[in-house]
Structure 1
Amino acid sequence: MKKTIPESIVLAGHRDYDLLSAIADDITQRAGGAGALAAGFSAMLRQCVDDVIMTPKTGRRSYDELEKTEKTYIGTRVEIELRAMLSLPKGRLDTVILGHDVDIKNTMGSNWMIPTEAIGHPCILVAADELRARCYLGLIVARPEYLTLGQNKDSKKSVSAPGFANIFWMLLDHPYPPNFWRRVPADVIEGIFAGTSGNQRMANLFRAVQRAPITRDVVEAVAQQQDFMRRIRSDNGRGTRDHLAREGILLLSGQYDAPLIAALGLPACSGSEFVSYRPVSQGEADLAAAHGIVLVWPPDPDSASGYT
């Protein structure tokens, strides 16, 4: 997205304010409130992009590695997912809100391409900045005077530099979950997926990436099996958590182990995230035991042999 975005002038008295503020209120209500919108919208964007990158299957780790057609598909996917998230109907354009035909435009760059059929209509503007892990959600009435004079070969125009001031922002430069795999070195990813079973791959993941919350989606992608949640928990000595405990590594759930996560000073995890940690003292091992997790302490340095 553009590094410098002008302050919005869509305030009371602006000719688009009443319409755009009403649409914004409807979107917020449909999402379950401002907080739910911010959380759900950013997570939805992350999922749309990651599902196309498909790191576990393709080895790709970033948006830049996608084919042109895949990048185009992300826009279609965002349109579909946003409608589903907000329970919006399909319309003559992309959707209908408060009786108005509304187009949904997505970009991973610095601007949006507005088709001729959307000119004069409200548009939902969606953007994700992968490098900075920021996202944007705005509304604009695609008036000709807000758009560029030039157009591409499909007769689509962009929002002009002055036109940006006529965007009603719902989320501006909002935190966006970073692509997990961009933070993991290529050789570490190769080691994680070298495991021949779901348990092996999950254990490799939590050995290699510690003290960092890992989402359920990442774990599921690594496990590549339907019953991964059963495997990640203690499973009569066969689960990933059991194997790691024998190596002196804690595998904690944000849903069930939040008190222990806080007591160890680890990053807070949501209910759908996990974090691993190798205690560095007998005191930390005793703390884990007090919370019901018994580790082999001190860990056997050969305990992972034959398992990775």
Structure 2
Amino acid sequence: MKKTIPDSIVETGHPDHPLLAALADEITKRAGGAEALATNFPAMLRHCIDDVIMTPKTGRRSYDELEKTEKTYIGTRVEIELRALLNLPKGRLDTLILGHDVDIKNTMGSNWMIPTEAVDHPCILVAADEARARCYLGLIMARPEYLTLGQNKDAKKTVSASGFAHILWLLRDHLYPANFWRGVAPEVVERIFAGASGNRRMATLFRELQQLAITRDVVEAVAQQHDFMRRIRSDNGRGTRDLLAREGILLLSGHFDGPLIDALGLPPCSASEFVSYRPGTEAEVDIARAHGMPLDWPPETLLI
């Protein structure tokens, strides 16, 4: 997205304010409130992008590696998922809100392509900035005077530099989940997915990426199995937790092991996140044991 975006002038007295404010209120209400919108919209956007990148199956780690048709499909996916998130019906354009036909436009770049059929109609503007892990959600009345004079071969125009001031923002430069795999070295990704079983892949994930909060979505992607949470648990000596414990590595759940995570000074984990750690001293091993997490000490890997 553009590094510098002008402040919105869509306030009381602006010709578009009554309609856009009403649409914004309806969107917020349908999302379950402003806090729910700020949480669920970014998560939805991350999910749409990651499902197309498909790191576990393709080895790709970023949006830049996608084919042109896949990048186009993300826009369609966002439209579908946003309607589902807000429980909105399909309209003559992309959706119908308060009796108004509304177009939904998504971009991974710095602007939106506005088709001729959306001109003079309200548009929901969605944007994701992968490099900065920031997202945007706004509304604009696609008036000709807010759009560029030029157009592409499909007769689509973009929002002009001055037109950006006529966007009413619901979320602007808002933090959203970063692409997890973007920050993982290619050789590490290759080692993780080289495992022949879910347990082996999971063990490599948490062995390679210690002291890092890892989300449930990443666990599911690596396990590639229906009962992926089973890979996290102890399993008669065969589970991921068992394999790592024999190496002296703790696999902890933000939901169940919060006190131990805090006691060891590890990064905070939400209830749906996990973190691994190899204690470096007997004192840390004693802390783990006091919290019901026995470890082989010294670990097998240090005895070889």
User: TM-score normalized by structure 1?
Assistant: 0.96
Which residue of the partner structure matches residue 14 of structure 1? 14
Specify the SS of the correspondent of 2:300: coil
Task: Structure 2: state its 5+ residue gaps.
Answer: none
CA deviation string 1:174-220 (max 9, x = no partner): 11211111111111111111211100000000000111111111111
Alignment correspondent of 1:23: 23
- Report deviation, 1:64: 0.7
Deviations 1:18-74 (A, max 9, x none): 211111111111111112111111111111111111111111111111100000000
The letter of the residue matching 1:165 is: A
Aligned partner letter, 2:140: I
- Does 1:81 pair with 2:81? yes
Could you list the per-position Cα deviations for residues 273-300 of structure 1 after superposition, in whole angstroms to 9, with x for gaps in the alignment? 1111111222221222222211112212
Deviation string 1:234-258 (CA, Å, 9 cap, x unpaired) is 1222210111111111111122112
Corresponding residue number in structure 2 for 1:204 = 204
Measured in 2, the distance between the counterparts of 1:141 and 1:286 equals 63
Give the distance between the partners of 2:301 and 2:73, measured in 1 at CA: 47
The answer for the alignment partner of 1:235 in structure 2 is 235
Question: Which secondary structure state, in structure 2, belongs to the residue aligned with residue 260 of structure 1?
Answer: helix
* 8 Å CA contact retained: 2:202, 2:231: no
2:80 and 2:262 map into 1 onto residues whose CA distance is 38
Does residue 277 in structure 1 map to residue 277 in structure 2? Answer: yes
Contact 2:198–2:223 (CA under 8 A) maintained in structure 1: yes
Which region of structure 1 is more displaced relative to structure 2, 77-86 or 224-233?
224-233
Q: Residue 181 in 1 paired to residue 181 in 2?
A: yes
Distance 1:16 1:196 in 2: 57
Report the TM-score, using the length of structure 2 for normalisation.
0.97
Distance 1:283 1:56 in 2: 37
Q: Does residue 1:38 correspond to 2:51, yes or no?
A: no
Q: Using the TM superposition, name which of 71-80 and 278-287 deviates more.
A: 278-287
1:99-146 per-residue CA deviation (whole Å, 9 max, x = no partner) reads 111110000000000011111111110000011111101111111111
Report 1:44-59 matches (<5 A): 44-59=44-59
Give the whole-Å Cα distance in 2 for the aligned partners of 1:96 and 1:261. Answer: 47
**CA distance, structure 1, for counterparts of residue 66 and residue 175 of structure 2:** 23
Within the alignment, does 1:63 sit opposite 2:60 as a pair?
Answer: no
Query: d(CA) in 2 for partners of 1:107 and 1:284?
Result: 47
CA distance in 1, matches of 2:13, 2:287: 60
Unaligned runs of 5+ in 1: none
Matched, 1:293 2:293: yes
Q: 2: distance between equivalents of 1:196 and 1:26?
A: 49
- Partner SS, residue 74 of structure 1: helix
- Whole-angstrom CA distance in 2 between matches of 1:263 and 1:25: 43
What does residue 118 of structure 1 align with? 118
In 2, Cα distance between equivalents of 1:5 and 1:205: 39
Instruction: Work out whether 1:171 is the aligned partner of 2:207.
Output: no
CA distance in 1 between counterparts of 2:96 and 2:196 reads: 48
Q: Which residue of the partner structure matches residue 104 of structure 2? A: 104
Q: Which amino acid aligns with 1:199?
A: N
> What pairs with 1:152-171 in structure 2 (closer than 5 Å)?
152-171=152-171
Aligned partner of residue 96 in structure 1, secondary structure: strand
Structure 1 runs (4+) greater than 6 angstroms displaced: none
Task: Give the whole-Å Cα distance in 2 for the aligned partners of 1:255 and 1:33.
Answer: 25
CA-CA distance at 1:302 after TM superposition: 5.8
Aligned equivalents of 1:228, 1:30: Cα separation in 2: 32
Distance 2:271 2:84 in 1: 23
The letter of the residue matching 2:108 is M
In the comparison of the two structures, how many residue pairs are matched?
Answer: 304
Aligned partners of 1:167, 1:230: CA distance in 2, in Å?
46
Amino acid at match of 2:120: G
CA distance in 2, matches of 1:130, 1:153: 27
RMSD: 1.2
Per the TM alignment, residue 85 of structure 1 is displaced from its structure 2 partner at its CA by 0.8
Task: Name the counterpart of 2:265.
Answer: 265
Q: Give me the whole-angstrom Cα distance separating, in 2, the residues matched to 1:256 and 1:89.
A: 40
SS in 2 for 1:301: helix
Aligned mates of 1:296, 1:13 — CA distance in 2: 70
SS in 2 for 1:43: helix
* Letter aligned with residue 100 of structure 1: H
